[in-house]
A and B are shown apart, each in its own frame.
Chain A
């Protein structure tokens, strides 16, 4: 430490305005993204998982160029394409829900949040930063997945604007809902260390019952009912409506893509997650006075 202090007086007579929430939100998003990409294992896990899963399923089931759903004149589609929607949905859930539920629990435990609380940073800017970084990482991750799907597995990408519009709103709504639910769920693990142990099984079970790894219709009826209560099933279904040909609509339980219901369920999670997250969010550990 130096002994000469060019630090200037404690506070000037003028009253400069506090930085705006938007400015701070952007600054937070920048710093969150920076931190995210420096945490190498998390990056690899979140980015590679959907791609690895797609690779495994496409290779195992697609042996000998097997195809799904061939009927009459329709030649069916490669297995890779059949699994792609589920992987896209899973990826969004990983980078929104799982990512936030774990990192916020850790940040609460290691007093990152407590430190922020002691500064004039508004809570809204903190959340804007989280949402910004989740949006960016989800986008990068999905783009990577689609790129690998198109180039390595030769999966055909949707060609109509209408399908990409569907993709955009399912992606945006899913990411937002996943993020707010992640914030709310971050209060469940008691410590930062137990966070992944608590969050990962939830995510894994949801993947299995929501038809990410199998055709949804192959699941037992009760499992279909259970998963219909959770948003991942609807995300996957929404993504199927983007990446699968319309012939597959007939394979859905209801015989249609159910865009209305999809928007409604995921939207409900967004609202409930937002209210719950806002009410239960704590800057400090439960035992911290």
Chain B
């Protein structure tokens, strides 16, 4: 079956539905009861520490690996039995492709575009990933970041409805990363659904409509980046120094706490006063079981001058 290619039509069901997905290698449970749904037209980021099962999951969704249990629907079909028509509707950027064709960037993008029924103009794709000057360069002569951009170009040249990107910006310089974000937003605005994994929290924060944090093959949190971790994880912390020790108070109403403090210190300067808001990184670290710096330090034992000067209250 080959349903009409509804790129921007959201009435066609979810882009990805995963329920109870499991996959093990020997004794190692790489994916262990993972659930997730990606809506049409959104950018969905998957975060998680090394070995959490991100690549395993994404490659199951791409039809490369076979699952042990659970149900998977990608664009309405089971990737394990999907056909050419289905493949023409998805785009894939693998985590580590090391192929070194003796072809130039231009030749490769044009050639791969030819596999698809309705591909994008190769020149526009090459411009979009910023490889214009390298169009006549053989792929083995590209730098690491340029290679990665070529991977992205090959992933989007087929005009996919659903684009998978496994750590797409690893090796990008900061400028290229920002340009890549623009590219992804542009694709999203054009109706492409995007599922990406990343280790860059700022990337998830800037790009993703929703993100999932995966740990030990399971989703431990799933929300918009601004809401991830729930209310308590997002609470501000008021810190100050009193009688030589650091005190802190998590609160939803830091202004009230500060006002109370000011009253208690009778209008004098409150020593070491700080209002900290957890960054996405802090929330992420607490979700994957690492202690975030902002809340982890035991205020009663750590001398104030040793406290990290991070998590500034700039957000």
Contact = CB atoms under 8 A, between A and B. Distances in A.
Interface of A: 1-3, 5-19, 23-24, 27, 31, 34-35, 38-39, 107, 110-112, 114-115, 117-122, 284, 288-289
A7 B128 contact: yes
A118 B99 contact: no
Nearest to A119: B115
Nearest to B99: A112
A27 to B, nearest CB: 5
A98 to B, nearest CB: 18
B192 A10 contact: yes
Interface stretch (B158-166, B229-237, B276-284): B158-166
B7 A10 contact: yes
**Shortest 5 CB-CB contacts between residues of A and residues of B:** A1-B179, A11-B7, A5-B186, A10-B7, A1-B130
Interface of B: 2, 4-9, 25, 56, 59, 62-65, 84-85, 87-90, 92, 94, 96-103, 107, 111-112, 114-118, 120, 124-125, 127-130, 138, 149, 154, 156, 158-161, 176, 179-180, 182-183, 186-187, 190-193
Nearest to B87: A120
Contacts of B84: 18, 120, 122
A16 B117 contact: yes
B114 to A, nearest CB: 5
Nearest to A10: B7
Contacts of B96: 111
Nearest to B123: A6
B27 to A, nearest CB: 16
Contact of A5 (B9, B98, B187): B187
Contacts, number: 157
Nearest to A9: B190
A75 B215 CA distance: 83
Contacts of A24: 114-115
A111 B94 contact: yes
Given A117-B64, A289-B56, A17 B117 contact: yes
B92 A118 contact: yes
A288 B156 CA distance: 24
Contacts of B102: 34-35, 38-39
A196 to B, nearest CB: 16
B115 A12 contact: no
Given A2-B130, A35-B102, A114 B64 contact: yes
B190 A34 contact: no
B145 to A, nearest CB: 11
Nearest to B23: A289
Contacts of A14: 5, 118
Contact of A3 (B63, B87, B124, B182): B182
Contact of A1 (B62, B92, B154, B182): B182
Contacts of A9: 7-8, 159, 190-191
Given A111-B98, A120-B87, A7 B156 contact: yes
